[in-house]
Amino acid sequence: MEQRQLGKQGLVVSAIGLGCMGMSEFYGTADEKESVATIHQALDAGVSLLDTADMYGPFKNEELVAKAIRGRRDTVVLATKFGIVRTGDASFRGVNGRPAYVKSACDASLHRLGVDHIDLYYQHRVDPDVPIEETVGAMAELVTAGKVCYLGLSEAGPQTIRRAHAVHPISALQTEYSLWSREPEAQILPALRELGIGLVPYSPLGRGFLTGHFKRYEDLAADDYRRHSPRFQGENFAKNLELVERVKQMAAGKGVTAGQLALAWVLAQGKDIVPIPGTTRRSHLEQNIAAVDLNITPSDLSDIAAVMPPGAASGMRYPEEMMRMVNL
C-alpha cells in the first residue's frame, strides 16, 4: 500500500483510509459482524487509517472500532473526533469546543476505544462561541500529556485553520471533497498547502452517489440519512444522476467502476491528500482499495474535469441548518 504524509509532524498513513461512520448509523441497518470483518480486511490489505468519532452511534462506533482493532493496535493509525454533542438517546445538543469538554471527551473516547492514546484527534466542528485558540490550546495539552499524537480540524475555514495552526501544528484537515464537492479547491486547499497541512476528504464518493449504485430516491432505506440530503432529492437527484452516468461511461472506457474512477481522481489531486471512503462491506472495500493503483493521466483528469467541473452538482451538500456549521 502506498504511504502518504499528513502534515509536517511525522504522521504517515496509507494512501487511502477507511471511514467507519456508516457501520453504526446514518446509512441504513448496520451489520456489526460484517463491519468488523471489513475493518480486518482493510488492515490486512495495508489500510492503516481508521476514522471514527464519538458522536457516531452515538458512541457505539468507537466501541465497534475498539472490538475490531483489539490485538492489532500497532498496525492502526486511529483517528477520532470530538465536538458535536449528542446524548444517549441520539439527540443533538450542539457544538462544544470548551477546554474542559475537550479533555473530558478525549478521556471518554480513550475508554471506549480501549487505547492509551489517539493518533489523530479532530475537532469535529468549530464552536463559534469559543475562540479556536482556547480549543486548540486544550488539544495541545492532550498532546503534552501523551493522550494524543497529532491534531486535526474538521470543516474549518481558512482563517480558523491559520489561527489554530499558530497555537499548535495541525496535521490534517477533514472536509468533504470529491468530484461533486470541489469547494475546497478555492481557498481551503491553498491554505493547507501554504501551511503544510494534509487533507483528509470524507465522502470522496459523494455519499455513495458517485458509485452509480443509486437509481432512484426510493433506493434509499427509510432510515437513511441521505433522504434528507438536498443532492439526493427531487430534481437534484435526476440532474446528479446524469453527471454520474457520464462518469460511468468514462470509467467503462478504462475498465473500472465509476466509484474507482472517482476515488482515483481524488487521489491524483496530490500526495498530501488521503481520502477515507466509508463502506460496510468487504466487496466494496476491495473496489475502493484497487483505486489506489489506477493510473490517471493528465488527459484523464482534463476529461473528468470537463464532465464534472466545480459546481456541477445540483443541491447543497447538507441541509441549510447543517451548512451553517461548516467552514467556520
**Residues recognised as catalytic:** 56
CA distance 148 to 110: 10
| DSSP per residue, 258-308 | HHHHHHHHHHTT-TTB----B-S-HHHHHHHHHGGG----HHHHHHHHHHS
What 192-197 contacts at long range (C-beta under 8 Å, 24+ apart), as own/partner pairs, is 192/161, 192/272, 193/270, 193/272, 195/161, 195/162, 195/165, 195/170, 196/7, 196/8, 197/6, 197/7, 197/161, 197/165, 197/170, 197/171, 197/172, 197/173
Q: CB within 8 A of 139, min separation 6: which ones?
A: 102, 121, 123, 148, 151, 168
The residues with which 65 forms a beta bridge, in sequence order, are none
**Are 106 and 151 contacting, i.e. CB atoms less than 8 angstroms apart?**
no
